[in-house]
């Protein structure tokens, strides 16, 4: 995924449309080398050295994302948001005013990145494609290098002009889980008091017609428990506090015959799908 991020940044900084106003940048090569004293590119280059990878704790969340797909529920655990920070330096080759060329190249790269506060979707590659929310970029990063002099000393190189860019990517923490629209919750009083445990079951399904289309506004009753729900625009319904065992569902909808169906609780997704016949 980090490799995909580097490839995306390279695509942004070398795109002819984005660099049309910046001739030095358009003619340069993007590299990702460690800028030690032995680094000596053969042609004018813009170097993006990945020097820091850390979790963005301000963006951490523990709330899973729940999505209903067909007759099942997909639970996606929230990803970790990771900040990847690059040190950007310019390395001109040839010409008579190398320092000024270096400054122009840095300035042009800075302008291209600032114009894109999030990485443009068409440039995303690999596992970055489709990530939500869009990948934010911070240019130049506020924290950046804590001590530029110490950094360049550790690289055994001389101090150079530079700026830092940080991009926040989403890294999946756990794989998604898929299951039926049935949940079981156990509640109780705190220890030290009279404890009462209760199992709460939630079931959900869909009311459809003979063509497989959802029936909106259908009334779904659990005859054994006095529970009722009304289907949404897709014909889906949700019932809470359903007792375990065999229950009887009755469905009433305008233009259709009344339908009854015995279902097990808990059960499988297809158990809660009810097909209505027209009048």
Residue 90's closest CA among 81, 101, 74?
A: 101
Report pLDDT digits (tens) over 219-235. 999 987 888 999 988 89
Q: What angle do CA 145, 51, 47 make, to 5 degrees?
A: 95
Report pLDDT digits (tens) over 87-140. 999 999 987 888 999 999 999 999 999 999 999 999 999 999 988 888 998 887
Report pLDDT digits (tens) over 13-22. 999 999 999 9
SS3 111: helix
- pTM surpassing 0.75? no
Q: What angle do CA 202, 204, 208 make, to 5 degrees?
A: 165
Per-residue buried b or exposed e for 49-58, using 16+ beta carbons within 10 Å of the residue's own CB:
bebeeeeeee
Positive/negative CA dihedral, 262, 221, 202, 231: positive
Instruction: Answer with the residue of higher pLDDT: 71 or 105.
Output: 105
pLDDT at position 66 over 80? no
Largest CA distance in the chain: 89
Phi, psi for residue 250 in degrees, rounded to 5: -120, 135
Least confident of 62-76, 125-139, 241-255: 62-76
Mean pLDDT of the chain: 86
pLDDT at position 190 over 70? no
Cis peptide before 67 (omega within 30 of 0): no
Least confident of 15-19, 112-116, 185-189, 249-253: 185-189
**10 Å Cβ neighbour count for 275?**
16
């Amino acid at each position: 995924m980090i490799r995909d991020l580097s490839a995306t940044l390279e695509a942004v900084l070398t795109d002819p449309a984005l660099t049309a106003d910046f001739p030095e940048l358009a003619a340069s090569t993007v590299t990702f080398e460690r800028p030690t004293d032995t680094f000596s590119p053969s042609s004018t280059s813009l170097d993006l050295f990945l020097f820091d990878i850390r979790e963005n704790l301000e963006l951490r969340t523990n709330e899973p994302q729940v999505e209903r797909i067909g007759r099942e529920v997909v639970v996606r655990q929230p990803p970790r948001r990771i900040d990847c920070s690059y040190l950007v330096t310019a390395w001109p080759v040839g010409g008579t005013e190398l320092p000024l060329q270096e400054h122009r190249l840095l300035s042009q790269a800075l302008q291209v990145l600032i114009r894109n506060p999030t990485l443009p979707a068409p440039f995303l590659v690999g596992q970055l494609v489709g990530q939500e929310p869009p990948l934010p970029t911070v240019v130049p990063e506020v924290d950046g290098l804590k001590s530029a002099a110490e950094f360049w000393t550790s690289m055994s190189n001389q101090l150079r002009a530079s700026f830092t860019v940080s991009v926040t990517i989403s890294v999946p923490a756990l794989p998604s889980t898929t299951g039926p629209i049935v949940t079981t919750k156990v509640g109780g009083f705190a220890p030290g008091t009279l404890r009462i445990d209760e199992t709460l079951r939630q079931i959900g399904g869909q009311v459809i017609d003979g063509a497989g289309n959802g029936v909106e506004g259908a009334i779904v009753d659990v005859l054994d428990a006095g529970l009722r729900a009304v289907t949404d625009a897709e014909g889906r319904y949700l019932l809470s506090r359903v007792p375990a065992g065999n229950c009887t569902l009755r469905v009433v909808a305008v233009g259709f015959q009344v339908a009854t169906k015995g279902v097990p609780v808990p059960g499988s997704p297809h158990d809660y799908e009810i097909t209505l016949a027209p009048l």
